[in-house]
Structure 1
Amino acid sequence: STVGTMLASKLGWKFYDADDYHSQENRMKMGKGIPLTDQDRFPWLCSLHDILLREVASGQRIILACSALKKMYRDILIRGNTNQPLKCGAPGVEEKPAEIQLMVVHLSGSFEIISGRLLQRKGHFMPPELLQSQLNTLEPPSAPENFIQISVDRNLTEIVATIMEVL
């Protein structure tokens, strides 16, 4: 969220924090230290896809801070949920899903560094104790996905500058 906010500010793009779009049920589950399942995440990812689709259709460029941990999750952000019974978009409307051009910025780091930063975060519904379950779920991006990987060992200014160079 910190990287995304700064990047959006520098680029003049719109910023969305995916955590703001979790259902109350998901927030409560995570607040109790219970990891989310794929089924918990599908409606959330579909909502994010629909937001991205709407914004891109209006000509807006967007930064989305999102823990899209699996390739399947990133595919839903790009194409909608085409492989599951649950569909993104308006109910009852059958059409070819629209794809979104997405560049994934994979911020990577050790458990210790990320955990330390989570412990400093105040007022967030996801407790630091869930970090290991997220790392267990993580499928880092790989070819042919459009992505860059940046270490969180670097400072914020360096991270944002690197992303801007790639863009």
Structure 2
Amino acid sequence: MQDNKRSDRIPWLCKLHDILRRDVASGQHVVLACSALKKAYRDILIQGKDDAPLQCDQSGKGEKPVEVKLLVVHLTGSFDIISGRLLRRKDHFMPPELLQSQFDTLETPSAPENFIQINVDKNLSEIIATIMETLK
């Protein structure tokens, strides 16, 4: 079942990679918000996927996928804080009972990934300022 979940995500991650690659190639700065909880998912966003049954769109046959430069902003917080925030959301797509599985699945970014880690205890303006400072 776990492999099916992973393979179900590959086309979606490839599509996101292709959008990132297209927008960056046209000179745009791009922000993508998604829960790429596993390193393998983040790798697909950056490099595309050349060994997947469904390959990311490639500009030419036989070429390696184009790598996208990506800064992962890893927002961290305790289960209690995030659970409390999730419970206060109205009409949100994610049921609170799935949160534990998200924590269990998470593979925290580590070197050599390009990432910063920010605690969600900070207010939104502090989080944005930290991200912007890192991007300079």
Which runs of structure 2 are paired with 1:68-147 in the superposition (5 Å)? 68-89=36-57, 93-147=61-115
Report sequence identity in percent.
Answer: 71
Aligned equivalents of 1:73, 1:107: Cα separation in 2: 17
Summarize deviations over 1:1-29 as a string: whole Å, max 9, x none: xxxxxxxxxxxxxxxxxxxxxxxxxxxxx
1:38 matched to 2:6? The reply is yes
Equivalent residue letter for 2:56: C
Does the CA contact (< 8 Å) of 1:76 and 1:82 recur in 2?
no
- Structure 2, unmatched stretches of 5+, are none
**Is the 2:76–2:117 Cα contact (8 Å) retained in structure 1?**
yes
TM-superposed CA distance for 1:166, in Å, is 0.9
Distance (Å, rounded) in 2 between the aligned partners of 1:117 and 1:82:
38
Paired position in structure 2 for 1:50: 18
Question: Hey, what's the Cα distance between the residues in 2 that align with 1:83 and 1:129?
Answer: 33
> What is the DSSP-based 3-state SS (H/G/I as helix, E as strand, rest coil) of the residue aligned with 2:31?
strand
Q: CA deviation at 1:84?
A: 2.2
Shift of 1:103: 0.4
Residue pair 1:108, 1:150 contacting (<8 A) in 2 also: yes
Aligned residues: CA RMSD = 1.8
Alignment gaps of 5+ in structure 1 = 1-35
Report the 3-state secondary structure (helix = DSSP H, G, I; strand = E; otherwise coil) of the residue aligned with 1:139.
coil
What is the aligned length? 132
Question: 1:128 is aligned with what amino acid?
Answer: P
- Distance in 1 separating the partners of 2:73 and 2:121: 15
